[in-house]
Amino acid sequence: MIKKILIANRGEIAVRIIRSCRELGIRSVAVFSDADRAAMHVRYASEAYYIGPSPSRESYLFAEKIIQVALQAKVDAIHPGYGFLSENADFARRCSEVGIKFIGPSSEAITQMGDKITARQTMIAAGVPVVPGTQKSVTNPNDIKKIVEEIGLPVMIKASAGGGGKGMRLVRDQRELFSAVKMAQSEAMSSFGNDTVYIEKYIESPHHIEFQILADKQGNTVHLFERECSVQRRHQKVVEETPSPFITPELREQMGEAAIAAAKAVNYEGAGTIEFLVDANRNFYFLEMNTRLQVEHPITERTTGIDIVKEQINIASGEPLSFKQEEVFQFGHSIECRISAEDPFNNFMPSPGVVRHISEPNGLGIRTDGYVYEGYEIPMHYDPMISKVITWGRTRAEAIDRMRRALYEYKITGVKTSTKFLERIMMNKNFRDGKYDTHFIEKHSEELLTPCANEKTVSVDMAIIATYIDYTNKMEKAAMGDFTLTRTNDKWKEYALKKSVQRI
Ligand code: MV4
């Protein structure tokens, strides 16, 4: 029985986990750094312990300190959330050494999936399709040349210890091959302390589609369908949705089966995500497995009705899953937008500082997972994501329009946030038509990132209000399917030139 859990994390995810603990009657233990003395997770938890200075290395990443606090607080389990220690195999092992359950897979599964070459080999053995490429590390120039001749250009050089886009190099021209390998190796060495690289065929314009899986200690593994995560900027997800507008029911079934096979291949336990690349012809390839709870898990919760954090806790306590695959359904459509304290119209410049006013959206079909409150100072030491808005609709169009409305209602002053950029995505014709891939943001950067009259703050006078009303009318027209405004970049610029206005 788990009666008390330490949450080795901060921010919205710590708050999210504490919420499920409270519903289950489990005591929650927060840990906090100097910068987080007044943080929401500290206020929500049953108990809270100071763990060190603001930099993550000295607090949320300080494994031994967290273990000591866990022992002192006599917790039964540690939930790592995402980021920080969540995919650290040594930390998972340390937890079991001191008799504390790590809420996540075994350290062996983390290690096996953390090494991308091993993960590829495991998936090939399990019959899960992988991107054509090398099965082991390559260093010899002749071997590299042979492999590239076999699979054909373009190729990607990736770090085996990497993931999430770090240490990756695209090669379109044979002449760049060796220098790209050398650069990828030295980048891998400095980032991960391991220069092992591998080669994959480059998939042009892929979709990033991932499957949520749950696996109990009894050997039952189910999937909770997919999340379409192709709206990314510099390998950071911005918008996620489920179901994917790109895949067919048949493909969904095949990918779900492949995801289960992938999890079973490493005796996976707990909640995990299998990431796939899907090419323009709808061929799918295993990319990576994330052995943690993910930021975007709420859209899956919304469409399946399953509390993923509760399931993680039940699995860790040794309980079998309470439902079978045939009992999991997708109902309606859900979208998540990540709100960050960054200025989207100034190259996403971080905007830490004190939140002067915040009022979050509410009403039918809206969920917000956040942690900032009025008077709270967003620290500069951590991730700029301050909250997530999750909407649900009976149809995709309803979920999108509800998101537009939610983003409109989202008011925050004191810091700059990405809400206006997200509104632009919700207005984009290609997005609304479900026609987008991983290049969406760069392809539409002008339309999405050129500042606009009412999106810059200052004084309000009557002329400006007129401009604002005109602009709003055009936005409304766009929502009704008239995209003449959003297609013409000159119009955006015209508005950008006019004096700025406070949104009212
Ligand atoms: C690829 C790829 C095309 N071909 N691999 C980027 C993050 C990392 N997880 C893997 N990534 C990619 N790997 C092959 N063989 C394109 C990407 C990629 C990408 C993948 C998912 C979401 C957004 C992306 C943006 C650029 C590149």
Question: CATH code at 416?
Answer: 3.30.470.20
Nearest CA to ligand 1 atom 23: 438
119 and 150 belong to one structural domain: no
Cis peptide leading into 80, omega within 30 of 0?
no
C-alpha dihedral (432, 437, 438, 440), degrees to nearest 10: -50
287 and 409 belong to one structural domain: no
Q: Does residue 297 belong to any structural domain of this protein?
A: yes
171 and 60 belong to one structural domain: no
378 and 350 belong to one structural domain: yes
Q: Which two tokens stand for residue 197?
A: 């690289």
pLDDT in tens, the chain (504 residues): 999 999 999 999 999 999 999 999 999 999 999 999 999 999 999 999 999 999 999 999 999 999 999 999 999 999 999 999 999 999 999 999 999 999 999 999 999 999 999 999 999 999 999 999 998 888 888 889 999 999 999 999 999 998 777 779 999 999 999 999 999 999 999 999 999 999 999 999 999 999 999 999 999 999 999 999 999 999 999 999 999 999 999 999 999 999 999 999 999 999 999 999 999 999 999 999 999 999 999 999 999 999 999 999 999 999 999 999 999 999 999 999 999 999 999 999 999 999 999 999 999 999 999 999 999 999 999 999 999 999 999 999 999 999 999 999 999 999 999 999 999 999 999 999 999 999 999 999 999 998 765 544 333 344 444 455 555 666 666 555 554 443 333 444 444 444 333 333
220 and 303 belong to one structural domain: yes
Q: Which position among 292, 302, 367, 405 bears the catalytic label?
A: 292
152 and 264 belong to one structural domain: no
Give the structural domain span for 72: 4-103
308 and 343 belong to one structural domain: no
- What percent helix, strand, coil does the chain show, rounded to 5? 40, 25, 35
- Kindly state the DSSP code that residue 104 receives in the 8-state scheme: S
Q: Does residue 451 belong to any structural domain of this protein?
A: no
Which atom from ligand 1 is nearest to the alpha carbon of 438?
A: 23
Whole-number Å distance, alpha carbon 395 to ligand 1 midpoint, is: 29
Which atom from ligand 1 is nearest to the alpha carbon of 131?
A: 15
Which atom from ligand 1 is nearest to the alpha carbon of 133?
A: 15
Q: Does residue 17 belong to any structural domain of this protein?
A: yes
Pocket of ligand 1 (CB under 6 A): 131, 156, 164-165, 200-203, 206, 208, 232, 235, 277, 287-288, 438
21 and 122 belong to one structural domain: no
> Ligand 1, from 147, 171, 235: best to mutate by most atoms within 8 Å of Cβ?
235
Mark which of 271, 302, 331 sits at the end of a domain.
331
184 and 244 belong to one structural domain: no
Mark which of 178, 201, 224 sits at the end of a domain.
201
Question: How far is residue 406's CA from residue 427's CA, in Å, rounded to a whole number?
Answer: 13
Nearest CA to ligand 1 atom 7: 165
To 5 degrees, how large is the angle CA 22–CA 24–CA 30?
40
Which atom from ligand 1 is nearest to the alpha carbon of 204?
A: 3
Tell me if 391 sits within 8 A of 366, measured CB to CB. yes
Q: Does residue 450 belong to any structural domain of this protein?
A: no
| DSSP annotation string for 302-349 | HHH---HHHHHHHHHTTPPPSS-GGG----SEEEEEEEESEEGGGTTE
Nearest to 223 by CA among 198, 266, 184, 255: 255
228 and 322 belong to one structural domain: yes
* Strand, coil or helix: 266: coil
Q: How many distinct structural domains can be found in the chain?
A: 5
Q: Which two tokens stand for residue 491?
A: 């119009």
Nearest to 297 by CA among 208, 212, 216, 235: 212
Tell me if 9 sits within 8 A of 80, measured CB to CB. yes
Mark which of 149, 180, 201 sits at the end of a domain.
201
Q: Which two tokens stand for residue 70?
A: 């866990």
Q: Which two tokens stand for residue 127?
A: 């019959």
Whole-number Å distance, alpha carbon 164 to ligand 1 midpoint, is: 8
The reply to whether 120 belongs to the active site is no
